[in-house]
């Protein structure tokens, strides 16, 4: 008899994707158009912060402040997800 090692890795991956999908829907509803563009450049495209700051006419400090606010927002939104979506 095999010992149970926890949830199936494929099931965990699907749960993680569902969590991410739900979180992204909520983030899109909360972020401004500029915030969505910054999010895409920094988190999806993984562009260097300095490069994004220059392109958007922002300082590194402004990007860092936006980044901190956005991460805090994401944490709050994730905490508010229904229990069936959270891992």
> What class is the 9-79 domain?
mainly alpha
| pTM of the model as a whole | 0.70
**pLDDT tens per residue across span 8-24:** 776 666 677 888 888 88
**pLDDT tens per residue across span 60-72:** 999 999 999 999 9
CA distance 22 to 31: 15
Domain ranges of the chain: 9-79
Q: Where are the alpha helices (DSSP H) in 1-87?
A: 9-30, 33-39, 49-56, 60-79
Q: SS3 for 41? A: helix
């Amino acid at each position: 008899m095999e010992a149970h090692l926890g949830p199936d890795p494929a099931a965990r991956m699907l749960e993680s994707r569902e969590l991410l999908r739900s979180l992204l829907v909520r983030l899109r509803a909360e972020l401004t158009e500029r915030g969505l563009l910054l999010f895409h450049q920094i988190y999806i495209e993984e562009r260097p912060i300095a490069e994004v700051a220059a392109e958007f006419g922002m300082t590194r400090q402004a990007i860092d402040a936006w980044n901190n606010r956005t991460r805090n927002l994401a944490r709050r939104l994730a905490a508010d997800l229904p229990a069936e979506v959270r891992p």
